[in-house]
A and B are shown apart, each in its own frame.
Chain A
Amino acid sequence: MALNLFKSKETRAMIDRYSLIELIGIYLGIFLFLFFMLAPFIEGFLVSLKPLSQLFSTPYSFWPENGSFSAYVTMWESVPRFGRYIFNSLLISIVSTIIVLILVVPAAYAFARFQFKGMALVLGAFLAVSMFSGAVLLIPLFRLMRTLGLLNTYYAMIIPGAAFLIPAAIWLLRTYMMRIPIELNEAAYMDGASQFYTFRRVILPIARPGIMVVAIMTFIGAYAQQFIFALTFNSKTEFMPLPVGLFAYFGKQEVIWNELMAASFVGIAPAMVIIFFLQRYLVSGLTAGAVKQ
């Protein structure tokens, strides 16, 4: 199942001809839909251009007057650690992704290739994990981190976070690996290759695109969802990831909204660059396993 949502070249048959009214209706609907999806970003961007005096004035004005990018400069001065927050976010996401891949690649292969007793149950248990949010397990995890002396370190955010990224990654990669023909394993066996050699030299190279998709999805998940563990298990500003670090713009008196929005856009940039370059993988990744083979 190669789903190529962005490059489909369906022939525009008669059935796809729309009357003018239908066309207007469709575009109007799409406009409404996308407006809902993008309004916060549009407003956020305009806010980042407005001077504070305009932001805190009534009546509300949509367009910036004397708008400038100065907030994008001053944000680095008001919160000097901002660069550090982005670095922390990236570091946490990258390390989480590596941990997840190390655990998931062998496990997904096992689930895809072998059907021993008990494995279906284990797979079900893995999927069930994704249904329990971190919030439910917060108390014991907090005590566990405290006992291990990991509170206020990167590990306190990486280790629990990675666990909740595992189920989706296993599911995705298993689906991908099930599509690798079993004949490859049989041929390798005939040639006297060991199980490990087959996995390492035959399967892994073929599965590389699938592993790539899982890596991207996991990275995005890790980047987007750093909140609850970072909020609860870490109080050191130097280790804070972006979502928690942004609270630094909530000053004592008032929130510096234009800088907060500017900082948000700078913080979003890495994720946006990734979507832009890897959108094709992303969509196939999101839909693999979702649609039946």
Chain B
Amino acid sequence: MTQTRAAWIFAWALLAPAILYILVIVAWPLFETFRLSFTDASLRRTTNYVGWDNYTKIFDKDFLEIIMRTFTWTFFSVLLKMTIGTFGAVLLNCAVPGRHVFRLLTMPPWIVPMAIGIFMWGWMYNGQFGMISGLMQRLGLSDGPVAFLAYGNTAYWSTIVTDVWIGVPMVTIYFLAAIQSIPRDLYEAAWTDGASRWMRFRRITLPLMGPAIITMSMLSLIATFNSFDIIWILTQGGPSGSTTTMIIDTYSTAIGSKKYGEGAARAVVICIFLSLFCVAYFRVTRKLASSDKA
């Protein structure tokens, strides 16, 4: 009894510093965000509680549009990350000479400070002098310069492409590990039975990658939903709001316009969505784990 008691004290003592740190830096600010969302906090010294005012104020047509845009932006980005990641992982799994180097070469976008990769994309998207516009003109795909970040539609897709670029390496390596943990006997058995390469991919690789794809797309969904640096550096949410996602919107309300109360209300809406994703994630991973044991 004393032994377990000592162990109990010891275990919680080991956890205490980390718990305390997270309480102060994450939990308390999270609580504060909720509290501030019911106030008119700004740079002024006095702060009053205003009830649901902030929420009634922010829920207009523009905000609903921003929410919709955040979801479509996230959806396309995650979809592309998963597709390209699967494609890359399957290719890098092929037993061809040079594969170790190829695997290494996928990592830079993930490892390099995000801002630096984004600057490089910013230059590539440049209309007058950038590579993409330049090559498109050279190949006759476009008559004049295409300033990708200057028009709503192209800016929207440009930010998605950059987000995909940053996200793909991790997805690829994760999927590659998942593929490599598939027992080799399965492939050998299928091969003996005369299954083609495509059949083996379709009937063995893809189904057994399933859990990894589901787990990764949930994680990726959450990370993409939170994406800030890319849009902020490339467009700051412009032109005329066409790349404004909820995170960008919250940042410019709170930090740009210093409307802390209203910004907090917008942040709370994000938190609600994130919590839903979070619950879904835990549910799905638990289900995957239990179906695995069965």
Q: Could you tell me which A residues sit within 8 Å of B by CB distance?
A: 1, 3, 5-8, 10, 12-16, 18, 22-23, 26-27, 29-30, 33-34, 36-41, 43-44, 47, 55-62, 89, 102-104, 106-107, 109-111, 113-114, 116, 119, 122, 124-126, 128-129, 131-133, 135-144, 159-160, 162-164, 166, 170, 195-196, 199, 220, 223-228, 232, 242-244, 246, 257, 260-261, 264, 267-268, 271-272, 275, 279, 282-283, 286-287, 290-292
Q: Which residues of A contact B222 (CB under 8 A)?
A: 131
Among the listed stretches B48-56, B58-66, B148-156, B180-188, which one makes contact with chain A, having 4 or more residues with CB under 8 Å of it? B180-188
Q: Report how far A41 CA is from B120 CA in the complex, Å.
A: 7
Task: Say whether B73 faces chain A, with CB atoms less than 8 Å apart.
Answer: no
Closest 8 CB pairs of A and B: A60-B134, A243-B115, A140-B32, A133-B226, A140-B29, A106-B14, A287-B177, A40-B120
Q: B7–A228 contact, CB under 8 A? A: no
Q: Could you tell me which B residues sit within 8 Å of A by CB distance?
A: 6-8, 10-12, 14-15, 17-19, 21-22, 25-26, 28-30, 32-33, 36, 41, 84, 87-88, 91-92, 94-96, 100, 102-117, 119-121, 123-124, 128-131, 133-135, 137-138, 145, 165, 168-170, 173-174, 176-178, 180-181, 187-188, 191, 197, 212, 222, 226, 228-229, 247, 250-251, 254-255, 260, 263-264, 267, 270-271, 274, 277-278, 281-282, 292
Q: B277–A131 contact, CB under 8 A? A: yes
Q: Which residues of B contact A36 (CB under 8 A)?
A: 84, 165, 168
Taking A139-B33, A195-B6 as given, write out 6 further A-B residue pairs in contact, using a Cβ cutoff of 8 Å, ordered by the A residue number.
A6-B104, A30-B91, A55-B129, A138-B267, A224-B110, A287-B173
Q: B120–A143 contact, CB under 8 A? A: no
CB distance from B131 to the nearest CB of A (A): 5
Known: A37-B105, A261-B123. Contact between A16 and B116, CB under 8 A? no
Q: Report how far A16 CA is from B187 CA in the complex, Å.
A: 10
Give the residue among A1, A30, A122 with the most B Cβ atoms within 10 A.
A30
Q: B26–A132 contact, CB under 8 A? A: yes
Q: Report how far A57 CA is from B130 CA in the complex, Å.
A: 10
Q: Which residues of B contact A271 (CB under 8 A)?
A: 111-113
Q: B174–A267 contact, CB under 8 A? A: no
Q: Which residues of B contact A132 (CB under 8 A)?
A: 26, 30, 226, 271, 274
Q: Which residues of B contact A164 (CB under 8 A)?
A: 26
CB distance from A97 to the nearest CB of B (A): 14
Question: What are 12 residue pairs bridging A and B, where the CB atoms are less than 8 Å apart in the complex?
Answer: A18-B94, A38-B108, A40-B117, A44-B119, A59-B137, A106-B17, A128-B278, A140-B30, A195-B6, A224-B111, A225-B114, A268-B113
Contact of A260 among B103, B119, B254, B270 (CB under 8 A): B119
Q: B180–A40 contact, CB under 8 A? A: no
Q: A261–B28 contact, CB under 8 A? A: no
Which residue of chain B has its CB nearest to the CB of A160? B25
Known: A128-B278, A260-B119. Contact between A137 and B91, CB under 8 A? no
Contact of A116 among B12, B33, B109, B110 (CB under 8 A): B12
Known: A131-B278, A243-B116. Contact between A41 and B102, CB under 8 A? no
Known: A124-B282, A283-B173. Contact between A110 and B14, CB under 8 A? yes
Q: A107–B15 contact, CB under 8 A? A: yes
Known: A44-B120, A140-B32, A271-B111. Contact between A135 and B228, CB under 8 A? yes
Q: A220–B111 contact, CB under 8 A? A: yes
Q: Which residues of B contact A6 (CB under 8 A)?
A: 100, 103-104
Q: A137–B30 contact, CB under 8 A? A: yes
CB distance from B57 to the nearest CB of A (A): 16
Q: Which residues of B contact A138 (CB under 8 A)?
A: 250-251, 254-255, 267
Q: A136–B88 contact, CB under 8 A? A: no
CB distance from A80 to the nearest CB of B (A): 20
Q: Which residues of B contact A131 (CB under 8 A)?
A: 222, 226, 274, 277-278, 281
Q: Which residues of A contact B22 (CB under 8 A)?
A: 125-126, 129, 163, 166
Q: A114–B131 contact, CB under 8 A? A: no
Known: A5-B177, A159-B25. Contact between A139 and B254, CB under 8 A? yes
Q: B112–A136 contact, CB under 8 A? A: no
Contact of B96 among A26, A103, A109 (CB under 8 A): A26
Q: Which residues of A contact B96 (CB under 8 A)?
A: 18, 23, 26-27, 30
Q: Which residues of A contact B119 (CB under 8 A)?
A: 44, 246, 260-261, 264
Known: A47-B123, A139-B263, A291-B181. Contact between A228 and B84, CB under 8 A? no
Q: Report how far A103 CA is from B212 CA in the complex, Å.
A: 29
Contact of A170 among B18, B87, B173, B212 (CB under 8 A): B18
Q: B131–A37 contact, CB under 8 A? A: no
Known: A23-B96, A59-B137. Contact between A41 and B274, CB under 8 A? no
Q: Which residues of B contact A122 (CB under 8 A)?
A: 15, 19
Q: Report how far A164 CA is from B223 CA in the complex, Å.
A: 12
Q: Which residues of A contact B271 (CB under 8 A)?
A: 132, 136
CB distance from A33 to the nearest CB of B (A): 5
Give the residue among B8, B116, B168 with the most A Cβ atoms within 10 A.
B116
CB distance from A94 to the nearest CB of B (A): 15
Q: Which residues of B contact A124 (CB under 8 A)?
A: 282
Q: A140–B28 contact, CB under 8 A? A: yes
CB distance from B72 to the nearest CB of A (A): 19
